[in-house]
Structure 1
């Protein structure tokens, strides 16, 4: 149990830094409510789970190759720039106030989470993080240890998402449409800044 709780804390530590998924979760949670923000988180965790399994199977060694990583940073930069632009452009659309029924489906928010999580640049970033955290659990002779580590990390991420969205849901009740619109614009700017970071990584990979 000690190992499990250690990696629950590791999962929390991984999820705490504000990333593209966190920004999208907060945006959807504010615009459409807890369930839709949670759907984005589930989409992200689906990719997290697949990455953990893929890393264990040896994907990390392939994606660490420079000629694989370099174009992924560029594609990721373009992808996040598009998401940021879309967030700013549609900031005043699809806003559901507390007590109103969202017009978009749960599956559409889940799909958004998947799309943000599979951004190539985002994959490179998360693979490097997961690779560091799981570096001592790649022993295929101890599959139980790997399952404990993986479940601990995912539990930590879930706890982070639930806590974050609870705060967002409470905050949302005292906000009006204009405030939510401007937060969506700010979220778009943050996504574009992540795009800039990925593009910088693409440029520095040549030096």
Structure 2
């Protein structure tokens, strides 16, 4: 069932300009969607609304047909059904790659051994299993970003939301990270990526382009 935005608009204060304007969008289970557009077009805000981090000023966010953007269950849904990957790798640098990949599972109440088994499987899936025991501070930017992707995958979320996940990486690493994020996800997990990079977007099944805070075109890559 889909994650849906219905006539969603948002601004950060009554006197501020609209950051997102009149957006209708539906993303189904298992889809891969790229949000593209120039800086300031509303990509990050739209992603934040989709992930239930930001309540829209107008309109509704629906999950499986139920409005959730202002629901008391929004916090629980954020924890149980969504994972995030950010532009800057969000990791505990003194802990190992395996420790970092286990974090979200542990936060959801998984037993430590079960969390570690799942995390090592996901580290292997994205090509950094051999670095499981290495402290995060000793990893390269691309390796660390793949650890963060493994953490997102390990939690078996319904939705992975990624905000410019390759924005600080070189071209070769961008290709590796984009492939890991989009092509290594479990069947049924949807991924929505805000990106400037056409290489990353081309790996998605759908591209949504924003200009001046609104969707202007939606197509296949």
> By the TM > 0.5 criterion, same fold?
no
**Higher normalized contact order (CA 8 Å, seq sep 6+, divided by chain length):** 1
Higher fraction of strand: 2
Q: TM-score, with normalisation over the residues of structure 1?
A: 0.24
Higher fraction of helix: 1
